[in-house]
Structure 1
Amino acid sequence: MSSMNRLLKSALALSLTAAVAYPVAAQDIESQILQKFQQGAYSKKGADSCLMCHQKDAKVMALFDGVHGNLENSNSPMAKLQCETCHGPQGKHKGKNEPMVTFGANGNVSAELQDSVCLSCHQDAERMAWHDSLHSDDASCVGCHDIHTGSDPVLNRASEVAVCTDCHQQQQQDLYKRSHHPLTTQAGEGSMVCSDCHNPHGSLSDASLTEVSVNDTCYQCHADKRGPVLWEHQPVVDDCRSCHNVHGSVNDAMLTRKAPMLCQSCHANDGHASRAYGDDDSAFTGGDSCLNCHSQIHGSNHPSGQLLQR
């Protein structure tokens, strides 16, 4: 099945969904565009016809700086139906101003129809879970990606985090706390970006993680914390987030709370609970608190490490 046939099939299916929640005027525009797809009303002159009007628009011309405007790449839109590959059949757009597909938050068709254009070409393993992803519910491909450019900011590790945190502002605040992962942000250049842990196109795991679980994702870097071990600490086995705020914390090691409060949120009857907090001369509250003795908090392989002391 050709890319355009896939696009037409997807667009026809999505038109019923869009009609439920999309304004009447927009439905009329979608109907006109879908009708032009059915008629195959493509221009014989392709991009030459478009550029007669749009060549003075710098944003339009920037397309030719990137992969989507590369005529020598057989997979690029410009090597197929040129501008009409993404914007749909021209029909009587020239002269009578018939609508063509426009993209973005102010686009003239639904986000679902916009995405169907992108997915007519971009269908691979990384996007197989897109329709069930959180992003597909409240965003569209062009909400993150810039097509008419030589360098898409979200595909550049130096600017990826800035694109993501434009929406994910709570996570942005966490990244500026004193204990956080080394992400590349405006505050400094690190070794990580959001996509090292998350698949923005969706996955079968929680929070669109790249691995099947939170712990497996963490173990990609923190392999020394991976078991099995002789003496396990159950919160470590269950979920790293039991103790850590993975995007950043005001506490050391991105802990959600300081010890001993963090430890005693589970170990309330551990025999030390009667010790007054604030006594800096006490081994239970001074220094590393509980970790003064129970230093192997992620688990121990020592024969005498049942209490995670060795």
Structure 2
Amino acid sequence: MGICVLLASLVGAADLAAAEPVLPDLGSASALSSRTAEQAARSDAVCTRCHDEDEAVPVLSINQTRHGMKADTRTPTCQACHGESQQHLKSTSGGKRAATDVVFKKGAYALTDEHSRSEQCFSCHKGGANHNNWPTSQHQLSGVACNDCHKVHTPRDKVLTKQTQPEVCFSCHKEQRSQVNKFSHHPIVEGKMSCTSCHNVHDDNPKLLTKSSTNDTCFTCHMEKRGPFVHNHQPVTEDCGICHQPHGTNSASLLKERVPFLCQDCHSHTSHPGQAAGLPTAPSRSTSAMGSVARGCLNCHTNIHGGNSTVNNATAGRFRR
């Protein structure tokens, strides 16, 4: 009698297991280092029974990414990112399954808040200069989550490729998209630079720059402008952005205004008086009469970023040749 009861209980347990698969406890980040590729595949198989190649949004393509390298013990399982989601596996309401613990894509289920979504990523991607300051970064404080920019299931994440990265950034930064298509611009649309050439998007400095200041960022490429010079031009020393708009303008050399008008924002002197555009009403060779009409400051002041002239006269420090 006891043997019959035991057999009946074992059969019942087997039927229950077949009806309701139990999710292996392999999803947490702490379990990743100890599980094997076979265990990971078994864990993911619980999800891929339903989420297969027929999904409207490709799911299995994650196996073509670094997140799908099963031979790497750091590779996450589905549950490492989406949570154990036992209710999603077992319960239905009105013919619809419950949501996963973490929902990354807005659609059939309510989107999980940006902090929780980013926390799933940072369970693995933490540490190092590129991510340490994310909790206080401008993007995080603006409600941006990792997956708002990164597409984990895509074999080629657009934001990680130089040629396609600006497309992702410009989906929010529309003013900069307009600027990089102006006459004078950094070669971003040509694919020779990307936004992250200058910006560390995970950092917390105000402009998300790769260096601590605008000047230090610019000097990584424009070393000849760094100085120090015998005669330093103070706006250059202070901030390149005083004269230049780095994303693009319709003035040469990324200048915010055409010369001489840019120079006259600061310099208005008796030898080169600022005046309304227009020629003098009578013939004249007087500098005071001509002012800056039909003249370019850079024709004479060629070393505008700084000069090394050692000539001992009153004009040596005026950035001339």
TM-score, reference length from structure 1: 0.79
Q: 1:142 to 1:267 in 2, by over 3 A?
A: same
Match in the other structure for 1:19: none
Q: CA offsets, 1:180-203, max 9 Å, x none?
A: 0011x2xxx232110010011124
Name the counterpart of 1:61: 60
Deviates more, 1:47-56 or 1:87-96: 87-96
For 1:308, the aligned partner's letter is: F
CA contact (8 A) 1:104 1:143 kept: no
1:129-159 CA distance string (max 9 Å, x none) = 1011111123110110000011111001110
Matches of 1:159 and 1:103, distance apart in 2: 22
Change (3 A) 1:226 1:44: closer
Provide the residue aligned with 1:148 in structure 2. 153
Do 2:307 and 2:319's aligned partners in 1 also have CA atoms closer than 8 Å? yes
The structure with more radius of gyration: 2
Cα distance in structure 1, aligned partners of 2:237 and 2:221 = 16
Letter of the 1:159 partner, please give it.
T
| In structure 2, distance between residues paired with 1:242 and 1:139 | 29
Find runs of 4+ consecutive structure 1 residues off by over 4 angstroms: 280-283
Q: 1:274 to 1:115 in 2, by over 3 A?
A: closer
Residue 165 of structure 1, aligned match among 156, 167, 170: 170
Cα deviation code 1:50-99 (max 9, x no counterpart): 1111112151111111111221122111xxxx210100013132241343
Deviates most, 49-58 or 239-248: 49-58
Cα distance, 1:260 vs structure 2: 1.3
In the alignment, is residue 309 of structure 1 matched against residue 320 of structure 2? yes
Deviations 1:23-49 (A, max 9, x none): xxxxxxxxxxxxxxxxxxxx9952111
Name the counterpart of 1:50.
Answer: 47
Maintained 8 Å contact 2:103/2:112: yes
Give the drift of 1:303.
1.0
Q: Match of 2:67, SS?
A: helix
1:102 aligns with 2:107: no
Aligned ranges for residues 129-140 of structure 1 at < 5 Å? Answer: 129-136=133-140, 137-140=142-145
Distance 2:210 2:271 in 1: 41
CA distance in 1, matches of 2:74, 2:259: 56
Report % sequence identity: 34
Distance 1:224 1:217 in 2: 13
Match of residue 28 from structure 2: 4
In structure 2, which of residues 88, 112, 116 is the aligned counterpart of residue 113 of structure 1?
116
Unmatched tracts of structure 1, length 5 or more: 8-42
Decide whether the 8 Å contact of 1:3 with 1:120 is kept in 2. no
Alignment correspondent of 1:244 = 244
AA aligned to 2:79 is E
| Structure 1 residue 293 displacement after superposition | 1.2
1:113 counterpart letter in structure 2: S
Q: Which moved more, 1:276-285 or 1:294-303?
A: 276-285
1:70 is aligned to: 69
Question: 1 CA distance for matches of 2:199 and 2:162?
Answer: 14
Taking the aligned partners of 1:291 and 1:279, their CA distance within structure 2 comes to 20
* Structure 1 position 219 matched with structure 2 position 206: no
Name the counterpart of 1:272. Answer: 272
Q: What is the RMSD computed on CA atoms of the aligned residues?
A: 2.6
Aligned position for 2:81: 86
Question: Is residue 128 of structure 1 aligned with residue 132 of structure 2?
Answer: yes
CA distance in 2, matches of 1:168, 1:270: 43
Task: Look up the match of 1:36.
Answer: none
Quote the Cα distance in structure 2 between the aligned partners of 1:89 and 1:274.
70
Residue of structure 2 aligned with 1:286, choices 294, 297, 305: 294
Contact 1:91/1:98 (<8 A) preserved: no
Checking the alignment, whether the CA contact within 8 Å between 2:61 and 2:154 is kept in structure 1 is yes
Partners of 2:207 and 2:41 in 1: how far apart? 46
Alpha-carbon separation, structure 1, partners of 2:27 and 2:217: 34
CA contact 2:268–2:274 (8 Å) conserved in 1: no
Distance 2:201 2:279 in 1: 47
Q: Distance in 1 between matches of 2:27 and 2:272?
A: 67
State which drifts further: 132-141 or 222-231.
Answer: 132-141
| 1:198-231 superposed Cα distances (whole Å, 9 cap, x missing partner) | 011124x330100110000000110010010000
The one-letter amino acid of 2:304's match is I
Give the whole-Å Cα distance in 2 for the aligned partners of 1:156 and 1:301. Answer: 41
Q: CA deviation at 1:259?
A: 1.4
Distance change >3 Å, CA 71–CA 254, structure 1 → 2:
same
Distance 1:182 1:301 in 2: 31
Aligned residues: 265
